[in-house]
Structure formats: C-alpha cells, structure tokens
Structure 1
C-alpha cells in the first residue's frame, strides 16, 4: 500500500496544490489562459508524439480494442442519458450533459500522467488511442445531440464541417497522427528537436494537474444536484467495471492495455463537460459540481483500483 500511496499522493497532491493556490492567491480566471494553451498546444501533444512515435506500428492499428473501449464508454452514456430523459423527465440537452458527466472521464489532463506513472511507457499507446477516438466521438456526439434540441441551430453542412474541423485540428489528435507517421516511417527527430520534445513532455503532467486544481477552485459548488446520486457511482465504479468486462469478453489483449483502459474509465468527470454545458447554456452549475465531487471521491476509488492492479488481484482476462 505504501507503493500505491507513493504513486497517488504526488499525483493528487498536484491537483490539491493547484486548488489551494487558487484559493489563496487572488488572480482572475483569465490568468489560466496561457497555462492551458501551453498544456493543450505544446506539452501534452509533445508527450503523445514522443510515446507514439516510438511504438511498433502494428500496435497502433488495434481496431477491436478501439471499438470495444469506446463502445463501453457509450453504453455508460446511453444508460445515464436514458435515465435523465425517461425517468427524470429532463430535456434532451440536459440528459446529454448528464450522460457525458458519467462517461467523459478526465483522460486528457489526468490520463497520460497517471497511466504512465502507474503502468509505465507500455501504457502510452492505449492511452493515445483511447484519447483520440473517445474525443473524436465526443466532439461528434455533443453538437449532434444539441442540434436536435433548443441549442444552437445550424445547417447540417455547417454542423458537419464544424465537427470535422474540430476533430481534425485538435492538437492531441494531430500530434498522435504525427507520431503514427514517425513510427510507420521509423524516423526520429534530430537530437536538439528531440530534447525540446522531451522537455515539453516532462512538463505535461505537472502543469495539467496543477491547472486542473486551479480550475476546480474557480468553480465552487453552489448546489449538489440530485443526479449526483447515480452519476457518481456510474462514473467512478460502474464505468471501469463495464470497461473491464467488455475487454475481457473480447479477450486476447495485453494486460497493460486492459489495465490502462480500466484506469482511464475510472477517472473523474472531465472539465470539458463543463465547457460543453457552458457552450450550450445547459446544466452548467451542476456539471461543475459533478466534476468537483467526482474528482474528490476519485482519490479513494482510483487508489483502490491501483491497489487491485499492482497486487495482481485484477487479472487481464476475467474469462480466461
């Protein structure tokens, strides 16, 4: 357990330091802009490129892994969406944000750092694949669902073009594709460029976690939504369980790939859920509360999952 604490405490400690700093130091929220720009456009893309470019190209084309992992996530989305729409009698827009709150984990800011720290560089490729294809799905589903509601009314051609542009030009996806090309051609950047990439990659996790803590502090809980009662256990407990069962049913995956997918599924709600809610002016305060509560509770749930992984209590295949 000491080893697990050594992994988790520095990781969540960075989030706490960001939160504490934001509470003690009086800076406007806009002051986070350049740090977020550095993380999104430079540090994390450098990390994805570095790790993917060094991976054998045959490992980058596991379509069955991609379909299974993204499929499990969208089963979670569909369940919570249905609860919100049919049982809670929410609007389609509200149910959509609730579905994302349960299915859209913090796989961008928290995922790479924690997976690589806990599972090593072998986790790099499944992290990159899950991130790219899940976000491509999220970038597609969110505007498509909102287009059916009272949200932004856009012509179908404009909507489709916006979705394609957002996916194709996302820095994480572009850097991963560049890494795939480098892996396919078996080329590496010149030494000075590689050193620059290394410096940027090393800054990715600490900067992203600190920024996440600041973001949470700037969005205090004003009220706890009733939906928290089923969204939180779905996100932190049932989502990783469903991911584990789905990959076990598929079978034949490297243990690190299974552990990585389950670990990413266990992460708290992504801050992007608030961004989507804010963009469409729906369920904003409650999305913010969900992010903060799942992040706080994930200290315990993620620690427990890492203990199961590191102790060998979580076999790679539930149905050998």
Structure 2
C-alpha cells in the first residue's frame, strides 16, 4: 500500500510542477503541445519498444487482456444503449460519448501509473492494445462513414491502427519479445534514454493542460455528462474487477492492475477526435475534465482497497 501511495504522490508532484510552470508563465500551451508531441511521437514509442521487448508475451496476451476487453465492452455497450434509446444522440455523437465512457487515458496517465504505481509499465499494454486495435478503429470507422467530408478508402480505414506511433512501438516491442531478440547496446541504450523522457514529459504537459486548458461549461445536459463519468470511473473498473477476480481468477496484483487501469479518466485524444469530426465537442471536453478531476479520489480508494 505504501508503494502505491508513493507512486501516486510521485505522479501528482510532477503534475503540480507542470501546473506551477504554467501558472508562472514559464511554460504555455505551445510548450504543452511540444511536450505532448515529443512524448507521443518519439518518447512513448521508444519506451514501449524497450519495455515490451523484455516482457513475457504471455503476460500481455493473457487474462489481463480479456479483462481489459470485457471492461471496455461493458462501458461502451451501456453508453450506446442509453444514448440511442434515452438520450436520442445521433450516430457521430454516440461514438464520441462511447469513447468518453470507455477510452482510458492510457498514454498521459496510464504509462506513468503503470510504471510508478503498479511497478511495471508493460501492464498498460493490454488496455492500450484493446483501444488501438478494437475500440478506436471501430469508432473512427463509424465517424468516417457517417460524417467525414473526404472519402476514406477501406484500406486507409483498416490501416489506421498501424499509423499510430504507440501501436508501432508496441508491435515492434512485441515482435522482439516473441522472437527473443535482444537489441545491441548501441540501439537499446539510446532508445531507453529517449523513452525515459516519456513519463515526465506527459505529466508536465498534463499539468499545463489542467492549469490552462478549457474548463467545463454549459451546453450539455449534466445528466449525460454524469452518466458518462459514472460509466468511466465506476462501472468500467467494477466490470474489470469482477472479471479479473471472479471470472478469470487473477492474483491480487493482477486484479489491482486491471482495476486501476480501467478506472483511468477519459483520454484527452477523445476531445481531439471530437474536434476533428466537429461532433460532440462539448460532451468530450466536459467528460475529459470531470473524469480527470474525479479519477484522483477513485484511484486512491481502489488502491487502498486492493493494494
């Protein structure tokens, strides 16, 4: 338990540094963009290569992956059902709402929490793969079909996951692990050094976004935002917990890992997708902000109960 709390304190401290730097105007939104792009396109893929290349593949394609997929399916399914039958959202808005309900912040918060709180950055891989291979392609395909202005070929739609830097880094790391290939020091050491930037860069950028980013406003019914946050922070981790503990029989460490990861807040790139397709923008913005703020006590409670 002490190690888990220490991990949260470590992460929180770096986020506060980002907020302080933004408050003092040392860093601004441009700095946030640079840090985020550096982490997303360079440092995170390097981190995934070095971490997954020395990870037993069976630990990734295991019950943890089943629990991750199950939790996503439960949260996404419950949102789609209510959105279409009760809230009467159209198809594009339903996609953004579904992302908001089930798409966890695996990059900006998932990697740091897996690395510092759970003690193994590779634990984020099952959820990351679930989102990059299953949830995101399905959702973006619906958006491409229903509202994209330009024609999207099926080849381009199906190849979308392979153009994601995190996906590429993860696949390369998995291939190295599968074939038991050890990178020579001249390759591994620079990758490890660059990968070491990923977590602090993400957290500082995240702190900047909390200080300077958009605040939730009016425009979306509170009950709809509240329902999304309920699914994201309560139902999804609860589904992961029940699957991990009772259906899959994971050990306590495995149960803690899948539950904590499922309880991560809505990913910020949901807001990016909403802006790109010009649909559900306010819904995504409010869901990201509210779930991020409320995820802190939720994650602490889960750690206290399960660690």
Query: Same-fold call, TM > 0.5?
Result: yes
CA distance in 2, matches of 1:186, 1:118: 28
Deviations 1:301-320 (A, max 9, x none): 1111111222xxxxxxxxxx
How do 1:103-122 and structure 2 match up within 5 A?
103-121=102-120
**Partner residue in 2 for 1:93:** 92
Matched, 1:152 2:145: no
CA distance in 2, matches of 1:137, 1:197: 28
CA distance in 2, matches of 1:203, 1:33: 15
CA distance in 2, matches of 1:135, 1:232: 21
Alpha-carbon distance, 1:224 to partner: 7.0
- Give the superposed CA RMSD: 2.4
CA distance in 1, matches of 2:276, 2:101: 19
**Partner residue in 2 for 1:36:** 36
Q: Please, which moves more after superposition, 245-254 or 20-29?
A: 20-29
**Partner residue in 2 for 1:49:** 49
After TM superposition, the score normalised by the length of structure 2 is 0.89
**Partner residue in 2 for 1:199:** 193
**Partner residue in 2 for 1:251:** 248
Alpha-carbon distance, 1:24 to partner: 3.8
**Alignment check: 8 A CA contact 1:139 1:163 kept:** no
CA distance in 2, matches of 1:160, 1:23: 45
Q: Please, which moves more after superposition, 10-19 or 257-266?
A: 10-19
**Alignment check: 8 A CA contact 1:101 1:235 kept:** yes
**Partner residue in 2 for 1:8:** 8
CA distance in 1, matches of 2:3, 2:122: 24
**Partner residue in 2 for 1:79:** 78
CA distance in 1, matches of 2:119, 2:91: 40
Alpha-carbon distance, 1:153 to partner: 4.9
Alpha-carbon distance, 1:28 to partner: 6.0
**Alignment check: 8 A CA contact 1:132 1:172 kept:** no
Q: Give the total of aligned pairs.
A: 304
Deviations 1:95-144 (A, max 9, x none): 221121111110111112112212222xx443112202322223312222
Task: Please give the secondary structure, in 2, of the residue aligned with 1:253.
Answer: coil
**Alignment check: 8 A CA contact 1:82 1:95 kept:** no
After TM superposition, the score normalised by the length of structure 1 is 0.85
